[in-house]
Amino acid sequence: MLKPKYKRVLLKLSGESLMDPKLKFGISLPIVNKLAEEIKGVHSLGTELAIVLGGGNIFRGLSTEAQAMDRATADYMGMLATIINSMALQDSLEKAGIFTRVLSAVSMSQIAEPYIRRRAMRHLEKGRIVIFAGGTGNPYFSTDTAASLRAREIHAEAILKGTKVDGVYDSDPLKNKNAKRFDSLTYIDVLQKGLKVMDATAISMCMEGKMPIVVFDLFKNGNLKKAVLGEKIGTKVN
């Protein structure tokens, strides 16, 4: 049996990763189901897996549409979007035969457990996938920061950030065919170069806790499993 490099990881996904690329918003169930199968393959290795989802496919607090709103109100709406995404992924994972728990930083007792650190760790120890919803529960903080915070709280060994490209580039590879990809970076490199790995607060938190970040192409079959196995893939920040 393949031996994973990491015993416990946190997977960070954007809300857009659940969306049909032909559309501007919403949730694509075929894409969510495919993602659930990839996650199931990692779960079968014995790695304890937590997930943080963004909400940009439904509502983004920093979007152009939200700029006329009070920032705190817009951010709270974004948190609600992450809860919708978390419920969609939970449904697909449980249909794939995996026990999951959604823990929300925003109180929603009818549909999610409240976020309690020790409870989250206990669920992971029992082999359940834990989905952290509602960001940090506070406005002005991104889901990247929420991912870094939760990863450190549960003593994850790495953050795996699934994206639409195969690593971190010096410019957008979808717009610049000459963009250069990095195999590895330091936290300071990311901050100084202004690279869009995660926001500065999230990177600083990872740097303080020496939390490695692996950025990889989520949509290539088997990549998530390769990342957990520690194979050379994407860009590693440490």
pLDDT band with cut points at 50, 70 and 90 for residue 135: very high
What is the C-alpha to C-alpha distance for residues 206 and 145, in angstroms, rounded to an integer? 9
pLDDT at 62 over 70: no
Would 152 be classed as within a structural domain? yes
pLDDT at 63: 65
pLDDT band with cut points at 50, 70 and 90 for residue 100: very high
Are 81 and 55 contacting, i.e. CB atoms less than 8 angstroms apart?
yes
Domain with 105, as residue range(s), is 8-237
Would 96 be classed as within a structural domain? yes
Would 39 be classed as within a structural domain? yes
The tally of domains found in the chain comes to: 1
Which of 238, 184, 234 minimizes the C-alpha distance to 210? Answer: 238
Would 92 be classed as within a structural domain? yes
Are 89 and 51 contacting, i.e. CB atoms less than 8 angstroms apart?
yes
Would 3 be classed as within a structural domain? no
Give the CATH number, domain containing residue 17: 3.40.1160.10
- pTM attached to this predicted model: 0.94
DSSP letter string, 31-47: HHHHHHHHHHHHHTTT-
What is the C-alpha to C-alpha distance for residues 76 and 213, in angstroms, rounded to an integer? 27
Would 2 be classed as within a structural domain? no
Would 128 be classed as within a structural domain? yes
Q: What's the N-to-C CA distance of the chain in angstroms? A: 28
- Rounded to an integer, the average pLDDT of 164-180 is 88
Q: What is the DSSP letter of 8?
A: E
Mean of per-residue pLDDT scores for the chain: 93
Strand (E) or helix (H) holding 70: none
pLDDT at 59 over 80: yes
pLDDT at 107: 94
Would 123 be classed as within a structural domain? yes
